Amino acid sequence: MGLYFIYDCNNNVVGNPKGYRTFKGADRQQNSRWSKAREAIWTAFEEKYGKHDSTRANVLVSSIKLKESK
């Protein structure tokens, strides 16, 4: 069984450092308006690229990846 991790635009883990059991749980934290994970994602993005604008339409903001445990 693996765990899902949320990564910001710098490929750093944000949210729960132990991961999430389901994709749905990670997705909720990634997209929930008041979550600390979402805040960390957008803080990293703005530090790297500046404020949101339409010229950044094809830039990765965050991702969720499954990491298999052995």
Q: State pLDDT tens for residues 23-37.
A: 999 999 999 999 999
Q: How far apart are the first and last CA of the chain?
A: 8
Q: What is the pLDDT of residue 24?
A: 97
Instruction: Quote the number of domains for the chain.
Output: 1
Q: Cα separation of 42 and 66, whole Å?
A: 21
Domain housing 34: 2-68
Under the banding of pLDDT at 50, 70 and 90, the label for residue 50 is confident
CA distance 26 to 8: 13
| pLDDT value at residue 67 | 94
pLDDT per position as a tens digit, 9-23: 999 999 999 999 999
**Of all residues in the chain, what percent carry a pLDDT higher than 70?**
90
Half-sphere exposure of 35 (CA within 13 A, CB side): 16
Amino acid at 66: L
Residue 51 has pLDDT above 80, yes or no: no
Residue pair 32/38 in contact by the 8 Å Cβ criterion: yes
